[in-house]
Amino acid sequence: MNKQRRQFLIKEIISDKAIGSQDELAKELKKAGEIVNQATLSRDMQEMGISRINTMHGARYQFNLEGEEKRIRTLISIEIQNIHSNETMVVVRTLPGRAQGVAEMIDSLKLPGVLATLAGDNTIFIAPSSVKKVQSVELALRTFIAKEDS
Amino acid sequence: MNKQRRQFLIKEIISDKAIGSQDELAKELKKAGEIVNQATLSRDMQEMGISRINTMHGARYQFNLEGEEKRIRTLISIEIQNIHSNETMVVVRTLPGRAQGVAEMIDSLKLPGVLATLAGDNTIFIAPSSVKKVQSVELALRTFIAKEDS
DNA sequence: AATAATTATGTAACTTAATGCATAATTATT
DNA sequence: AATAATTATGCATTAAGTTACATAATTATT
C-alpha cells in the first residue's frame, strides 16, 4: 500500500492522457507498478475530487471544483507561514517566492470581505472591503485553511 | 481533535515568537482554542521536524533539516503536475506560477545527476550531467516525491 | 427498453493513527 | 552533583483509515 504514490500517479496519468474508465486507469497504474482494484479507484476519485466528463473524443477525467478546492487548501496551508492583521488589513507571510501564487488563490476563493490582495515575494496584503471587516476576513481565511477534508 | 489546525497553529506560533518549552506552546495553543497536552506536542515536534535550539535570548523552536525536507516533499508533490523525459532532459510540469519555486527546491535537493534546472511559469527543464543519466534523474525525482514520511 | 459498461458502496478484516496519562529519560540550572 | 525543567515514551484505549470482494446502482450504448 502506498496511497501517496498511487494518487500522485493518478494525477499524473489523467493529466497525460485521456483515460476512459477506472479499469483502464487500473491498467495504467499497473504499468507503473501499482496494483489496485477498481473499488479503490472509485474511492480515490471521490477523495481527490476527480470527475469523469464526456468530450467529443470520449470520456476522460479531471479535477472538479471540490478537488480544486481541496488542492488549494492543502497547498496554501503549507505555503502560508503565518497570518496577522492590524486595524486596516490582513498580512500573510508565505514561503519564499510563493506570495504571488497564494494571493491569486486567495482571490479565487472570493472570501467575503476581501476587497483586493497585493503580493510581493513572501508577503501578501489583503485589503478588506471595509476596515471593520479586518477580523472577519482573517477568520474566514483561517477557517478555509483549517477546514476538514470531507 | 483537529491535527491539521493544531499543526498549522504550531508552525505559526513558533514563527511568530520565541517559545521556550512545549508547555509554553501548549498555553499558546490554548489561547487559540486548541487544548492539547505536552506529550502530544512532543510527538508533533517529532513529526513536523521541529527542534529546540538555544539562542542568546533563550530557547526557541525551528524546523530542522528533516522537517524542511518533509515540507519540500509535501509541497512539490502537490505543485508538480507530471514528469516526463526524452533522450536529453527531464521535463516537469507544475501548477501555474510554481515552476520557479519548485525548480529552486529541486536544486536544493542536489539530486545525483542533476546539472541544472531552468524554469518558466509552469514548466521546468532539468538538464542531466550526462544524457545517459536522464532516466536516473527522473527516477531520483520520483523517488524523492514518493518517499514515505518517516 | 434491453444490454452492456461503468461506478459506487456495504461488509468485513486488518492496519494504522491519535492521544491522554503516568513516568522515565534527558537536558539545563544552581 | 543535586535539583529543576523539559522532553520522550510505554501502555492503553478509542477512533479512523485502507482495501479487497461481491454486488448494487447508475450511466451509456444498441
**Separation in Å: C5 C1' and A110 CA:** 40
CA-derived radius of gyration, chain A: 19
pLDDT at B58 over 90: no
pLDDT for A24: 94
More confident residue, A4 or B137: B137
The tens digit of pLDDT for each residue in B71-130 reads 899 899 999 999 999 999 999 999 998 999 999 999 999 999 999 999 999 999 999 999
* B97 vs A contacts (CB less than 8 Å): 100-101, 104
B11, HSE (Cβ side, Cα atoms, 13 Å): 23
* Three cell numbers written together for B2: 483537529
Task: Tell the CATH topology of A3-63.
Answer: Arc Repressor Mutant, subunit A (1.10.10)
Please state the ipTM of this predicted complex. Answer: 0.84
- Produce one character per residue of B59-80: b if its CB has 16 or more CB atoms within 10 Å, e if not: eebebbeebebbbbbbbbbbbb
Task: Tell the CATH topology of B67-146.
Answer: Gyrase A; domain 2 (3.30.1360)
How far is the C-alpha of B13 from the C-alpha of A144, rounded, in Å?
A: 18
pLDDT for B56: 81
Report residue A150's pLDDT band, with 50, 70 and 90 as the boundaries. low
In chain B, what are the domain boundaries? 3-63, 67-146
The tens digit of pLDDT for each residue in A102-134 reads 999 999 999 999 999 999 999 999 999 999 999
pLDDT for A83: 96
How far does the CA of residue A131 sit from the closest CA of chain B (Å)?
A: 23
Strand D nucleotides with an atom less than 7 Å from a protein beta carbon: 5-10, 18-23, 28
Q: Residue B95: what are its φ and ψ, rounded to 5°?
A: -65, 160
Mean pLDDT of all residues in B13-38? 93
A118 touches chain B (CB under 8 A): no
pLDDT for B35: 92
Choose the weakest-confidence range: A14-28, A30-44, A55-69.
Answer: A55-69
Report residue A58's pLDDT band, with 50, 70 and 90 as the boundaries. confident
pLDDT for A4: 87
